Amino acid sequence: MLNTEVMRKRVPSVWVATVIIGILGTACHTAQTAYRAGKYEKSIEAAVRKLRRDRTDEKTIVYLEAAYDKLYHQKMRQIEFWKKEGLPENVLAIYDELDELRYYQNLISPLLPLYIPSKKRQASFKWVSDADYLAARNRAAEYLYARAKGLLGTGYREDARQAHGLLVELQEIYPNYQDVEQLLRQALALGTNRVLIYAVNNSGAPLFAELEKHITTMPVGDLNRAWVSFTNVYDPSEQYDYRIVLNIRELAVSPDLQLPPRIYTESKQVQDGWEFVTDAQGNPIQDSTGAYVKKPRYKTISCIVSEYVQQKFATIGGYVEFYRGSDHALLYSYPINIHKIFEHYWATANGDLAALSAESLAKVKIGPAVYPSELSMLLQAADELKYLTRNIVLQHIHMLRQ
């Protein structure tokens, strides 16, 4: 909304209002205390809650009548001032005031009639007439419509975004007004920056056809945000506000590597039969039953392990670059460097396998692995590259809204 226009609050929808009333039910304000504090809205809401339980509470009825009367006249004085002031945008504020009164009117209406015994009369409330309310709504809708159409006519992006906000507000107060749906689509199209995102290979190394397709077809639908729309398909007839280039400067895969073996020995004590327990003189010892006492006999076993490591590396490096579409100026550049590592441990053994730890035995059993292909390694790196690029774009989405 323009700075010259009156700032307004939108009355909550019915379901939001119901939630608000429920929350207010836990507050300390009563109809009486809120009224005395000049908080007429809270006074009305507190009174309505109480009267829903007991419509014969005379004191609460009196405060409900008084609070609504104060609120009604307060708003009507403000409306009269805005009418005398004569600013075109005041029709919006006038509608909002009448709409808020209608909100409180709809809270009170289901409780009527409310009788005040001490005054021997029913409580009285001044309602906003349907004719006055609809006339105010029509004037507000006409103003919003004309203002939005005027902004759309300038051809400026910021004006189109402001027009979109006005049209959304118009829909809230007057659904299906004239051709608002069509104008909303027009405002969205005019106000949205179009961003082309693509990759270029400046590494000097040829790309596999499958890898090139994998990189250049990065999904962009989930990148779209308010006023920013992405595409990865170049259309020569289209004007792009920004370009994001995944500039690949390094593309490399190492040969299949196997490091020299690390040789180590593992040993273990294992039981090797039994032997008799003897005394200091070397005589076998007998237990109380006359049987000779035995104990386990142990021996040391060992195994020589040759551990091998298979390795392969893939690297994709470069920059994520943001360019302005109008003059191709570089706005931002973020370095990227993706490394994918294939590493496999295996071993051979010479000796008693029973001497090996569980870890070493597993390496002996698994044996050597088949090395991944260059393409496979690069595709893995490309997946990580696309994920990193996506995060960089989202972190700097504000640059693309300008």
Q: What is the pLDDT of residues 358-367, one digit of tens each?
A: 999 999 999 9
Please answer whether residues 308 and 347 qualify as being in contact, where contact means their C-beta atoms are separated by less than 8 angstroms.
Answer: yes
List Cα–Cα distances, 246 to 201, 229, 318, in angstroms. 8, 17, 7
pLDDT band per the 50, 70, 90 thresholds, residue 29: low
User: Which long-range contacts (C-beta less than 8 Å, at least 24 apart) are formed by 333-339?
Assistant: 334/392, 336/385, 336/388, 336/389, 336/392, 337/250, 338/381, 338/384, 338/385, 338/388, 339/313, 339/314, 339/315, 339/381
Please answer whether residues 276 and 291 qualify as being in contact, where contact means their C-beta atoms are separated by less than 8 angstroms.
Answer: no
At 290 the pLDDT is 80
CATH-assigned architecture of domain 192-267+303-402 = 3-Layer(aba) Sandwich (3.40)
At 25 the pLDDT is 43
pLDDT over threshold 50, residue 6: no
Q: Is 25 helix (H, G, I), strand (E, B) or coil?
A: coil
Q: pTM of the predicted model, to two decimals? A: 0.70
On average, the pLDDT of the chain sits at 89
The Cβ-side half-sphere exposure at 82, using a 13 Å CA radius, reads 22
The Cβ-side half-sphere exposure at 172, using a 13 Å CA radius, reads 17
Q: What is the pLDDT of residues 89-147, one digit of tens each?
A: 999 999 999 999 999 999 999 999 999 999 999 999 999 999 999 999 999 999 999 99
At 323 the pLDDT is 96
- The rounded distance, in Å, linking the Cα atoms of 332 and 399 is 9
Q: What is the pLDDT of residues 267-281, one digit of tens each?
A: 999 888 888 888 888
Backbone phi, psi, residue 288, to 5°: -65, -20
For the packed helices 14-24 and 40-53, what is the interaxial angle rounded to 10 degrees?
80
Q: Is 290 left (phi over 0), alpha (psi -120 to 50) or beta?
A: left
- The rounded distance, in Å, linking the Cα atoms of 229 and 235 is 14
* pLDDT over 70, % of the chain: 93
Q: What is the secondary structure of 286-351 as a DSSP string?
A: B-TTSPBPEEEEEEEEEEEEEEEEEEEEEEEEEEEEEEETTT--EEEEEEEEEEEEEEEEEEEEEE
The count of other CB atoms within 10 Å of the CB of residue 268 is: 15
For the packed helices 58-85 and 90-108, what is the interaxial angle rounded to 10 degrees?
170
Q: Is the peptide bond before 113 cis (omega within 30 degrees of 0)?
A: yes
**Parallel, antiparallel, or unpaired: how do β-strands 294-324 and 262-276 relate?**
antiparallel
Across the range 44-59, mean pLDDT stands at: 94
Q: What angle do CA 88, 89, 93 make, to 5 degrees?
A: 125
pLDDT band per the 50, 70, 90 thresholds, residue 344: very high
What ranges do the domains of the chain cover? 14-128, 192-267+303-402
